[in-house]
Amino acid sequence: MIALCNTAALGAIKLHRGVNISHWLSQSGARGTERANYFTEKDVAFIASQGFDHLRIPIDEEQMFTPDGEKEPEAFRLLHNALQWCRKYKMRAVVDLHILRTHHFNAAEKPLFTDKKAQEQFYECWRKLSGELKRYSNKWVAYELMNEPVADEPETWNVIVNRCAEVVRGLEPKRTIIIGSNRWQGYETVKDLRIPEGDPNIIISFHYYNPFPLTHYRASWTDQKDYKGGIHYPGQVVTDEDLKAVDEHIAKKYSWMKNLRWDKNVIAEHFEQVLQRARHYGVPVYCGEYGCINETPADDRNRWFNDMDDVFEEKGIGRAVWDYKGGFGIIKKGRPDETMINCLTK
């Protein structure tokens, strides 16, 4: 499935097509029955039936651990349930430590990068997670050490993540560890990523939401939320005609979008940059997140997904789409988006 390296020979977990289970044990205020009902065994059975082979399960420190570092029994029960359901339906799982109390990818202040105590707290999270999860086979469960680090300098993250990998490796010598690069795990920053040498059970991860005006069309939390004109894929993402159709001040603000031209060849070139770094280390590549918001016109979105899937297959890259039933989901208004799912699993 991953042509870059023979993962069976390396020992790393095999990941092909997956789905992110967002807003369940991460980025959600739901607790109790509401949280338990959000994602159940029926969901795992459905995802498996559609041809996906793994789940990426984001978890947040504040959901899994109290401020004093004690484990939250209910959250761990749900995580164990999910991992057991994955095994039942022959699916693998990536447990992704998504947000720390000392690091959120969009926060202005990130103590993780400046406070030794915060760094030790990060490592301690993984000591405790390992204690809970080491019972699961290395062939079925992998650990992603942290989601989308955003440090001022790449080496700041490199030092911290290599130390975290050392902590986990001391506890679980053969567990697959997934490591992403600095600056939101962008493809363009993987060249600066430094990982342990000679470890056959590491996978390099990146995320891909490009072109951003397409994948985050009208997204309320972005700088481009006010642009509601035409959007296209492939080719010129926003045309002069699209800009003429919106208010003048909006056209001026977003005039830079007309310089974006995207197609399968652009995507392949970006993926190749990631593969070059992975070849240096002799490890596989995994795209832990990619997706296109539901606001994007369906035909353009599906053409993008088709091209993404083609390049993933051509390059031998495992991946997990963002997300299951959130704003980018394969479930829309409670119903499967069959066209989208077909693009992802063809």
Q: How far is CA 168 from the centre of its chain?
A: 20
Question: 222, 304 in Cβ contact below 8 A?
Answer: no
What are the backbone angles phi and psi of residue 236, rounded to the nearest 5°? -70, 120
Q: Please name which of 135, 32, 130, 44 lies closest in space to residue 74, comparing C-alpha atoms.
A: 32
Note whether 229 and 315 are same-domain residues: no
Q: pLDDT confidence of 1, banded at 50, 70, 90?
A: very low
pLDDT exceeds 60 at position 10: no
Note whether 255 and 317 are same-domain residues: no
Whether residue 17 lies inside any domain: the answer is yes
Question: What does the alpha-carbon distance between residue 88 and residue 132 come to, in Å, rounded to a whole number?
Answer: 19
Q: Please name which of 335, 278, 338, 341 lies closest in space to residue 309, comparing C-alpha atoms.
A: 341
Q: pLDDT confidence of 224, banded at 50, 70, 90?
A: very high
Structural domain range at position 161: 7-211+263-345
Note whether 154 and 270 are same-domain residues: yes
Question: What does the alpha-carbon distance between residue 7 and residue 149 come to, in Å, rounded to a whole number?
Answer: 26
What are the backbone angles phi and psi of residue 142, rounded to the nearest 5°? -120, 160
Note whether 193 and 300 are same-domain residues: yes
Question: What does the alpha-carbon distance between residue 227 and residue 229 come to, in Å, rounded to a whole number?
Answer: 6
Q: What are the tens digits of pLDDT across the range 56-76? A: 999 999 999 999 999 999 999
Whether residue 2 lies inside any domain: the answer is no
Q: Please report which residue ranges of 11-148 form alpha helices under DSSP H.
A: 32-38, 41-49, 61-64, 73-88, 116-133
Q: Which long-range contacts (CB under 8 A, 24 or more apart) does 254-257 make?
A: 254/213, 254/224, 254/226, 254/227, 254/229, 257/213, 257/224, 257/227
Note whether 194 and 66 are same-domain residues: yes
Q: What are the tens digits of pLDDT across the range 153-203? A: 999 999 999 999 999 999 999 999 999 999 999 999 999 999 999 999 999
Whether residue 254 lies inside any domain: the answer is yes
Three-state SS sequence of 156-220: HHHHHHHHHHHHHHHHCCCCCEEEECHHHHEHHHHHHCCCCCCCCCEEEEEEECCCHHHHCCCCC
Whether residue 1 lies inside any domain: the answer is no
Whether residue 84 lies inside any domain: the answer is yes
- Structural domains counted in the chain: 2
Whether residue 100 lies inside any domain: the answer is yes
Between CA 19 and CA 140, with CA 292 as vertex, the angle to 5 degrees is 15
pLDDT exceeds 50 at position 105: yes
Amino acid identity for residue 162 in this structure: N
Q: Report CA-CA distances (Å) from 116 to 52, 60, 120, 121, 263.
A: 40, 20, 6, 9, 44
Q: Please name which of 283, 292, 88 lies closest in space to residue 179, comparing C-alpha atoms.
A: 283
Question: pTM for the complete prediction?
Answer: 0.95
Whether residue 95 lies inside any domain: the answer is yes
Q: Please name which of 288, 223, 254 lies closest in space to residue 22, comparing C-alpha atoms.
A: 288
Note whether 239 and 155 are same-domain residues: no
pLDDT exceeds 70 at position 9: no
Give the pLDDT confidence score for residue 12 in this predicted structure: 74
Between CA 141 and CA 147, with CA 144 as vertex, the angle to 5 degrees is 145
Question: What does the alpha-carbon distance between residue 208 and residue 320 come to, in Å, rounded to a whole number?
Answer: 11
Note whether 176 and 119 are same-domain residues: yes
Q: What are the tens digits of pLDDT across the range 321-338? A: 999 999 999 999 999 999
The residue written with tokens 């035409």 in the block is 230
Q: What are the tens digits of pLDDT across the range 26-51? A: 999 999 999 999 999 999 999 999 99
Question: What does the alpha-carbon distance between residue 300 and residue 305 come to, in Å, rounded to a whole number?
Answer: 9
Note whether 112 and 228 are same-domain residues: no
Q: What is the DSSP string of 222-235?
A: STTTT--S---SSE
pLDDT exceeds 90 at position 8: no
Sign of the Cα torsion 135, 136, 137, 143 reads: negative
Structure token pair of residue 30: 């739901």
pLDDT mean across residues, the chain? 95
Note whether 106 and 251 are same-domain residues: no
Q: Report CA-CA distances (Å) from 10 to 176, 190, 198, 225, 290.
A: 10, 21, 10, 44, 25
Note whether 230 and 100 are same-domain residues: no
Note whether 248 and 324 are same-domain residues: no
CATH number for position 126? 3.20.20.80
Q: What are the tens digits of pLDDT across the range 113-128? A: 999 999 999 999 999 9
Note whether 194 and 83 are same-domain residues: yes
Question: What does the alpha-carbon distance between residue 165 and residue 171 come to, in Å, rounded to a whole number?
Answer: 10
